Amino acid sequence: MSTYFLTIDSPIGILKLTSDETQLNAISFDSEPLTAAPLLPDILFLVKKQLQEYFAGTRQSFDLPLDPQGTVFQKLVWKLLAQVPYGSTRSYIEIARLLGSENASRAVGMANGRNPIPLIIPCHRIIGHSGKLTGYAGGLARKKWLLLHEQKFGTNDPLFF
């Protein structure tokens, strides 16, 4: 199976989209612009369109075929992350409790940090138990920007951090 790439400009920097013929595999931050191959699969253009709508404030959820690569545990965590509503946050310990083990919050944090499809699988919505912003693969400035962006266009409670 082939791998395809497309870079897009966004308010949080250049994003590199990686896919196979039919599914999104990854989104990377801090990419250099790439010259797109002459023929790219439709999935990359669909991802680009939905991300543009998200950044414009007109899209609050994504409808995309995803294929993130990870362990069984990581995929379980990512599935729970995908259920955190737009404009809302959850703590690592809340996700661990959903997994049945409050002691798993560190493992949840590790899985969160290895999420290969940020934004679409909204790992930026996971914060520390105290309400503080904690690590984010894209950097805390991006995490804060994304949370404030969603707060601006969402209908949920105010965020505190």
Choose among 116, 45, 137, 36: nearest CA to 126: 137
Catalytic residue list contains 80: no
Marked catalytic residue, from 123, 126, 127, 147? 123
Contacts of 108 (CB under 8 A, 6+ apart): 77, 92, 93, 95, 96, 99, 126
Task: Report the alpha-carbon distance of residue 83 to residue 129 in Å, rounded.
Answer: 18
Taking alpha carbons only, the member of 120, 109, 124 closest to residue 65 is 120
- Closest among 66, 71, 79, 65 to 114, alpha carbons compared: 71
Task: Burial-class residue 116 by CB neighbours within 10 Å (0-12, 13-18, 19+).
Answer: buried
What CA–CA distance (Å, rounded) separates 57 from 51? 10
Q: How far apart are CA 80 and CA 26, in angstroms?
A: 18
Catalytic residues, which ones?
Answer: 123
